Amino acid sequence: MDLMEAIKGRRSIRKYKPDPVPEEVFGTLMEAVKWSPSWANTQCWEVIAVRDPKIRSELATALSKGNPALPSITEAPSVVVLCGKKGVAGFKRGEATTAKGDWLMFDTGLAMQSLCLAAYSQGLGTVIVGNFDHKRVAEILGVPQNVEVVAMTPLGYPATEGIAPKRKESSEFVFHEKYPGKE
């Protein structure tokens, strides 16, 4: 699949078929995560693949009723929870290198985009879910204190096509030479 086609064609999918994701296809997605860029190649990401329907039902309790992705957590055959090891990305000898501190949100974001694009290229659907009770998910999955739960996505074959929400025109976010200021 052409890269621009993947970037533009990938949609958030919130309705899934029950068919399981073949193990080799899941392996391809993990290759996409593996080859993502990261701060000084620190690769802080960790992935928890949840297929057990009982654990997925527990995960669903961490989402609010108003989250449109809620049904997909139990409907899809699997959920991928993306975590990041704290104090790794953006750190040198235990000290933060920049004023931004931990870059784990950035690096796990890159990994998530790789995963979603690779999933799309394999005919699979994803929807990045960030709005949930992270502490609760950490408890359910037994994630230790030094690891941050960042986001999750259901993973499976789409039961519907996603609708593309409108994007800003590039002229609204691209500036030249300097940030536009007062004249």
Ligand X SMILES: Cc1cc2nc3c(=O)[nH]c(=O)nc-3n(C[C@H](O)[C@H](O)[C@H](O)COP(=O)(O)O)c2cc1C
Q: Which residues bind ligand X (CB under 6 A)?
A: 11-12, 67-69, 127-131, 151, 162, 165
Q: How far is the CB of 131 from ligand X (least distance, A)?
A: 3
Nearer to ligand X among residue 21 and residue 117 (C-beta):
117
Nearer to ligand X among residue 69 and residue 117 (C-beta):
69
Helix 23-34 vs helix 104-121: angle between axes, to the nearest 10 degrees? 140
DSSP states along 73-96: HHHSSEEEEEEEETTTTTEETTEE
Nearer to ligand X among residue 105 and residue 147 (C-beta):
105
Nearer to ligand X among residue 54 and residue 166 (C-beta):
166
Q: Which of 177, 161, 168, 104 is nearest to 134 (CA)?
A: 104
Q: How far is the CB of 22 from ligand X (least distance, A)?
A: 24
Q: Which of 167, 143, 162 is nearest to 16 (CA)?
A: 162
Q: How far is the CB of 21 from ligand X (least distance, A)?
A: 19
**Cα 173 from Cα 183, distance rounded (Å):** 19
Please give the residue whose beta carbon sits closest to ligand X in the complex.
Answer: 130
Count CA atoms closer than 13 A to 69's CA, side-chain side. Answer: 23
Q: How far is the CB of 152 from ligand X (least distance, A)?
A: 9
